[in-house]
Structure formats: structure tokens, C-alpha cells
A and B are shown apart, each in its own frame.
Chain A
Amino acid sequence: VGGAIIFAFTLIPTRRRKPTIALFTFLAGLYYSLEFFLPTHLLSDGTMGNFLTPTLPVAGNVSQSVVAFTYGLGVISLLTVHLKSIGRKREGWGFSAAVIVSFFVMIVAGLCNKYSPNWSPVHGVKASDVFDFLFQGGLTALDSAMFALIAFFIVSASYRAFRIRSVESSLLMGSAVLVMLGQVTLGTAITSGLPSTGIASNFRLENIAQYILLEINTPALRAIIFGIAVGFLATSLRLWLSLERGAYFDQEA
């Protein structure tokens, strides 16, 4: 059904595409707005809601289906970019080739693992073993290694960049060191000799870190969240009413 709908959309003349998208965006937003704002009453299944509430699971499924199509779009985009790069022998085309090969190997391994895990392409090696090897030994290990590299950059950057040059940077540095120490066992071990109750307990590093996080960080962050929320509301309204200018429509114009 989704495929048919997408195909039907492709038949719409270019000049009518923008109003069509605007209409569907408005209707989708209107549905959730009405469901949220309309008065509720006791429904037949004993829960509270209005006439739109029982359709929420269906709307959730439709949303998932729509998002699933964007994955297809992502695959088409990925293949287009990298196949072009290989075809034109651009600089680094070997990396593009690695992407394409890895992409198809993982797809084949994943499908074999799902639909025929016991199939043995090589004697004694099952399809599920191949997938596990690629997933655990390849993807997971590479993903973890990529993220672990950040630790090296953080150590190097903090050593080179953290210089106390002003009052503000002193405050930042002081609070950062206290929160860091209060969040790890080494820090809490330093002041573990202090009593856990009474006035002296306030000087335990974990309590100082907790104070900074809850009494200083939280109000500041809450203010930021309020600001973001107001901005988000304005942006959402602009998107809902299709007032936002996007790269696609700008190119169309």
C-alpha cells in the first residue's frame, strides 16, 4: 500500500507537489492537535479519551511505515553517491568500494541469518555464524573502537586547551574537577574518611558534585530547556503550516 501511495505521489505534477505536501503536513499535525486538545470522556473500553484516541495505535503504525520509506531513500542516496564516486574514480574511491561491498555482504548475511540460519555455505560454518562474526567481530568492534578513540582526543585536548586565563575559566575548571572526581570511585575514595552524616558530610566529594549538579546545573539547564521549548514551539508551528523555507522548495522556486 505504501509503495502504491509513493508511486501515486510521483505522478503529481511538480508545481502541485508543494501544496500537496503542505496539505498532508497540516492534516497530520491537525490530527495530533485535535486528539490532544479536544475534551475527553469515558470510552467504551473504560479508558478516557475522545473520538480520535482509539486511532492512535493506527497513526503510530502509519508513522513507522512512512519513516521506513526514508530508509529506502537513504539506501538509494548512499548507492548513488558511492557508485558515482567509483565510476568516476574520484579521490578515495576505494573507500566507496569498501562501503558498497560491506553494505551488500551485511545485507546477504543478515537475510540468510533471518530466513535460513542453519544453511551452511561452507562446511561446518552456518549462516548464523557468518552473521555473528560480521556483527560482533566487525560492526560492533569497529563502532566501539571509533568511539573509544574519543578518549585519546579528550585527554590530549584537555591537557592543551584547559588553561586558567580568566575568572570564568577558573570557575569552569574548578566545578569540572569537582564533578569529575565526585562521579568516580577514585574521587569518592579520597573523602570516604569523612562522616556520611552531619555537617562534615557536605565536604565529601560526591556530595559536592551532587550539589553542583542539582543546585547549580539543574536550574541553569531548566532555563535553557524552557528557552528551547519556546523556540521548538515556534519552529513546529512554522513546519506545521509549511511556512518554513527548505532547500528543496527553494530550488523548485
Chain B
Amino acid sequence: MEQTIWQKMQKIDTRILYVVLLLFVSVPLLFPIQLPIIPAEQTRQAYETIEHVADESNVKPALVDSQWSASTRGENEWQTRALIQHLMIKHIPFIVVPGDPQAPQLMNAIINDYKTKYGYVYGKDYIIVHFLQSSAYAQIIKGMARNIPDTLKTDQNGVNLHQFPIMRHVTTFADISLLLEITPTASLDKWLQFLQGTQKVPIVVASTAVQAPEMFPYLDSHQIQGLLVGVKGAGDYEELMGVKGGGTRVATALSLVYGLIILLIIIGNVGYFAEKRGAKFTRVGRRA
């Protein structure tokens, strides 16, 4: 029996969907499209928190907790690039704490792209400590709340942290200006549970879009001072910094993909309702 147009609308070949998706992703990346960017309120809060830290007379180092790996680089990489660039523009020193085995390499690659431009020197302006196992994070955070160098011990190359100028005035979290949590997981909970009770450090979170709804209660309760939601958050942040980077480009591509998903949902539902209505009319006609 031949399919009606409504049935066909509900059964578009998956291969066609994949090709259309591929076009929706690749075309805006290859040929950037300009769309007006209106930064979200939570991104603005994140930006202003870093600006506020930079305004302090004695700028203390920020702590960057990098929990992401290559699997979520599509979102977390652009967020990291935007945040690291902002720290460097404002000359805020930072300590990177990698919470994933891939994080040290990924963070090194990103920082290397900007460090010469902004005159950042390893050990003096930034440092990357050794990888920390996420399953012991609660205990590590409790230790860090008390003494950061004695808990973290060494940098990524096994050198004692006390030997680096950046760590000269860092002992407890009172010596940290800001915590940047870049994560695709619910790792923020541990910082809130084991750090925020004892130390009041501003926290800015950059999370994947799928994880972001879980962060909103903490934004609402002012336990975190800013939130970058997925790659849109990175694009918004670039807009606030006045930089047109990869985040803006990818955010535009993502916009079109969201548009495609909504369009397909509408097509599927129109077909579904029209078919249902047609079947109802047919039944009524038969009864008559």
C-alpha cells in the first residue's frame, strides 16, 4: 500500500537526516554566519566576577579546576579558551588542577596558544599541577581547604610546588581569588560541600549544556557567581570580551542544529496529527 504524504513526513530516511545535519554543522563553520549575540545573564555574572577580581589591588591567583577530556572538547574547550584568555588579559595568575588524565595535555595546548601573546611564564604566572584522581576529590578538596601546596605536592613534571614563585604566597584558599570550575560532570557539588563551608571563594562554573540545568539552583542561591552554559556560554563570553573566536562560530552552528531539531520535531508531529485526523475521518465515514 502506498504511503500518504503524512506517513512519509514521519518516516524520513535516517541517512537523509544525517546528511542534512552534517550540512547544518559544517556550512556555518566553513562560512561563518553573523547572528546577533545577546549574552545570557549568568555569563555576564561570570564575566563581571573575573573583572571584579582583577580590580583588586593585590591580585591573588585563581584556581582552574579542569575536569574535561576530549569527549566534551566541543563545548569545554571554547569555554576554557575564553576564560583563560580573560585571565591573561587581566593579568590574573592561575593554578590549573587537572581532574582528568587528559586534562594536563589539553590545558597545556590551550595555554601555549596564548601565553606568548600575553607574556605568561610557567611557574611565575601560571602552573599546572599533576593529575588528581576524581574519586578522591572530596578528600583532596578538604586537604586543599587547609593547605594547597602540601596537598597537591608537585606540578605536572613532578617538581615540588614550593619551588615556584606563583605558589610563594599561596597556602590556604584564603590566598585564592577565584575558583573556575570547567566541567562536563557534577563535580561542582564536592567544591560546594567541602570547600564553601570553610572558605568563601567566588566560584564561576563552565559546564556542558546538558549538565547546566543542575547548576541553576546554585546560581539562584548565589553559591556560584557565574555560569557558562555550553558553547553558547563561550560565544557569549567572547562577545563580552570583544573577541570573535571559535566559541562564537561553533555557537552559531549549534544554533542552526537546534533549529533543525525543532523543525524536524514539528514535521514529525504535523505528519502524526494529520494522519491521526485522516484515520478518524475514515472511521467516521465507514460508520456512516
Contact = CB atoms under 8 A, between A and B. Distances in A.
A221 B215 CA distance: 10
B183 to A, nearest CB: 15
B51 interface: no
A95 interface: no
A160 B142 contact: no
A155 B135 contact: no
Nearest to A56: B146
Nearest to A32: B142
A213 B216 CA distance: 7
A213 B265 CA distance: 22
A61 B153 CA distance: 9
Contacts of B272: 163-164
A151 to B, nearest CB: 7
Most buried by B among A64, A144, A206, A218: A64
A127 to B, nearest CB: 15
Nearest to B262: A177
A181 interface: yes
A39 B69 CA distance: 41
B29 interface: no
A186 B255 contact: yes
Interface in B135-177: 135-136, 139-140, 142-147, 150-151, 153, 172
A189 B144 CA distance: 44
A210 interface: yes
A148 interface: yes
B145 A156 contact: no
B12 interface: yes
A61 B143 contact: yes
A2 interface: no
Interface string A43-78: 000010100011011111111101110110000000
B135 A67 contact: yes
A248 interface: no
Which bracket fits the contact residues of B?
Answer: 35 or more
Contacts of A222: 217
B229 interface: yes
Interface stretch (A3-11, A17-25, A135-143, A237-245): A135-143
Contacts of B217: 218, 221-222, 225
Given A57-B150, A60-B142, A67-B136, A183 B232 contact: yes
B132 to A, nearest CB: 7
Q: Is the interface of B mostly helix, strand, loop or mixed?
A: helix
Contacts of B252: 185-186
B111 interface: no
Interface stretch (B17-25, B85-93, B280-288): B17-25
A57 B151 contact: yes
Contacts of B264: 155, 158-159
B98 to A, nearest CB: 13
Contacts of A235: none
B48 interface: no
Contacts of A67: 133, 135-136
Contacts of A187: 255, 258
B254 interface: yes
Nearest to B132: A64
A163 B256 CA distance: 22
A180 B212 CA distance: 12
Contact of B265 (A60, A173, A217): A173
A38 interface: no
B71 A144 contact: yes
Given A177-B262, A214-B216, 7 more contacts: A66-B136, A144-B70, A151-B25, A184-B251, A185-B235, A186-B35, A188-B37
Interface of A: 32, 47, 49, 53-54, 56-64, 66-68, 70-71, 135-136, 139-141, 143-144, 146-148, 151-152, 154-156, 158-160, 162-164, 173, 177, 180-181, 183-189, 192, 206, 210, 213-214, 217-218, 221-222, 225
21 contacts: A58-B143, A59-B143, A61-B153, A63-B140, A64-B136, A67-B136, A140-B73, A143-B69, A143-B73, A143-B102, A156-B18, A159-B12, A162-B269, A185-B235, A185-B252, A185-B255, A187-B258, A214-B216, A214-B219, A218-B220, A221-B214
Interface of B: 10, 12, 14, 17-18, 21, 25, 35-38, 40-41, 69-74, 102, 105-106, 109, 132-133, 135-136, 139-140, 142-147, 150-151, 153, 172, 209, 213-214, 216-217, 219-220, 229-230, 232, 235, 251-252, 254-262, 264-265, 267-269, 272-273
- Closest 6 A/B residue pairs (Cβ): A60-B143, A186-B255, A63-B139, A143-B70, A184-B255, A140-B70
